[in-house]
Chain A
Amino acid sequence: MGIVFITHFIDQVYAISDRITVLRNGSLIGSYEAAQLPRVELVARMLGKELTEFQRQDRPHEGSHADDLRPPFLKIAGLGRSGTLEPVDLEVRRGEIVALAGLLGAGRTELAQLIFGVIRPHQGTVQIDDKRVAITSPKKAVMLGMALCPEDRKGQALIEDLSVRENIVLALKAQRGLFGSISRRQQEAIATEYIRALNIKTPSPEQAVRFLSGGNQQKVVIARWLAVNPHLLILDEPTRGIDVGAKAEVLKLILDLAGEGMSILFISAEMEEVVNVSDRIVVLRDHKKIGELASGDASITKIMETIAQES
């Protein structure tokens, strides 16, 4: 009997299949004999990069702001949820950019959701500024100084019926509660400030946010969180589906924010971004943390080798 087996678990692929067909972003990348395709090559094809292309990559940002003496803002130990994510240890220091790398379905988004209280962990502890906390809802996470720009912009972040202004001040309003109102003039000032600071292209703050381009919508979501001045900003695929210019702006913004002392947890499938931006890279595979690379010796090849290594 012929069997078509669909998975992104690399171990399973090599354990059972004779031939491997790689699909990415809705197009066929190629079919290969399993025995003749090294694991690193498979990962490279899944990510859409040639191995040689990576080795030439240089790390542009030298002045790493990772400082091991800085106190950790977020410290999680053994945080996990059965069926979703095996227990993970992770630290994010103040002003540090930690990236979560891995293939699609590796559990990066799930880890972000566990930290932010979107889904509840079954085990493990979370410490913020060395104090143990229970994050039972996003609201709680927001109150503790965290912010999450989720992967699914339309489904999980934007309120499409509302204007750019209303979207930008929404988290601030949520933080202040029902009656901690913000005057219309203050709202306009905040919206205008972030529209200028993040270079959001909109005819007016009153434009309904659904009419903006993907990149500008993403900036609106980021602005929403910057307005509450969080200690930790979790960005899940902030550059997906936005144009190249906006991408570069978002990445620069991430570096600037970290420079100002904000901790960043950065999730991206784009390996260059991960390597270029982050101070430390946590590699996930098959719902498990499998390694951690410090900024010094991180390269795309290293990440791919880590993902490809036999478990």
Chain B
Amino acid sequence: MTFGRSRNILWSLAALAAVLLFNLAFTPRFFDLRMDSGYLYGNLVDILNRAAPVVLTGLGMTLVIATGGIDLSVGSVMAISGAVASILITVNHAPVAVVIIVPLLITTIIGLWNGVLVAFLDIQPFIATLILMVSGRGIAQLITSGQIVIFTDRPFQFLGEGDFLALPFTVTISLLMFLVAFLGTRTTSVGTFIEAVGSNPVASSYTGIPSRMMKLIAYAFSGLCAGIAGLIVASDIRAADSNNAGLDIELDAILAVVLGGTSLAGGKFFLAGSVIGALIIQTLTTTILIRDINPAMALVVKAAVVIGVSLLQSSAFRARLALIPSLWRVRHERTAPEVGAESLE
């Protein structure tokens, strides 16, 4: 794994470190960990656990954004995934393998559908995925007949509640999917092709790269990731709540990708960066919760941090920032100010 030219990942790591340092200084007992009957408990463990849905949807979103697209439907797809699983449990009494595989198949097909709209019908990704973002929750409600379906299924509940190697099982799932995405893109040509398509679609097609196939893969993978996130959320609350499962998560997922250093314009992508981005978002949320900040304030704090990290990642902004001392000097030495203005270009 090389972070060679991915300087931006360093900035995301720095942002994560900054949020953690803030807690080290101002939030007592934030870093406390305790072992209880073989399992770790503490805020850090909680952050890893709670971040799982954003990590997962963020992984899929990374590939989609790298192709130059966007997937707004991930939250609704999560709701559909949970809805299907809950019906399989309560109505069909299906074995756990079926309860997991069938929803994931469905959400992958939904992702493919998004991919077809974008790659073959040339619909703008924003609109193409908005269709399912809006209608997806309706579909999920149809599946559950508008009810919140509550269930008990111990094996299935392990997804969201179980522990593995002293950590919540969701951490294992996140890690596994990260490896799938990383190895799937970086040990094959998939990653380069996705970056090529997102960076220059015309040149990619001149070079013989199967651009449509790359988009299909990206959107299908996003559907799969959203499906897994939906199962985790349903399993965690032991219910399919079509109205609230994955609500607004597309925004967090997009944020995670951007915080991780992948440009919304498409091109180079950083899966590890997106994971860090998701952790930044969850650490912020957790910090806000345990510091008892007014939830309305919480969103403002989040926004401020996001603006800060995004600015730091902008090389144009950093260049201007570096100029400030010299500009200041120029002004105070009463030399021609237009020299400074020019060097801004």
Contacts and interface: CB of A to CB of B under 8 A. Distances in A.
Contacts of B196: 159, 162, 170
A175 to B, nearest CB: 7
A175 B208 CA distance: 7
A143 to B, nearest CB: 8
Interface string B254-295: 000000000000011000000000000000000000000000
B199 A118 contact: no
Interface stretch (B167-175, B187-195, B305-313): B187-195
Contact of B200 (A159, A166, A176): A159
Interface string A141-166: 11100001010000111111111001
Interface residues of B, number: 25
B268 to A, nearest CB: 5
Contacts of A177: 189
Contact of A178 (B188, B198, B208): B188
Contact of A170 (B4, B207, B267, B268): B207
Interface string B215-235: 000000000000000000000
B203 A181 contact: no
16 contacts: A138-B207, A139-B205, A142-B207, A155-B200, A156-B206, A157-B203, A157-B207, A158-B200, A161-B199, A162-B199, A163-B5, A171-B207, A173-B192, A174-B189, A174-B209, A181-B188
B232 to A, nearest CB: 29
Contacts of B213: 178
Q: Which 5 A-B pairs have the closest CB atoms?
A: A161-B267, A142-B208, A161-B199, A174-B208, A139-B208
A176 B189 contact: yes
A224 interface: yes
A60 interface: no
Interface of B: 4-5, 187-190, 192-193, 195-196, 198-200, 202-210, 213, 267-268
Q: How large is the interface on A (under 10, 10 to 19, 20 to 34, 35 or more residues)?
A: 35 or more
Contacts of A180: 189
A63 B115 CA distance: 55
B206 A170 contact: no
Nearest to A155: B202
A187 B204 CA distance: 18
A206 interface: yes
A155 B199 contact: no
A278 B106 CA distance: 58
A189 B195 CA distance: 22
A208 B5 contact: yes
B200 A139 contact: no
Interface in A241-258: none
A179 B189 contact: yes
A139 B210 contact: yes
Given A116-B206, A162-B268, 5 more contacts: A138-B208, A155-B202, A157-B206, A157-B207, A173-B193
A141 B208 CA distance: 8
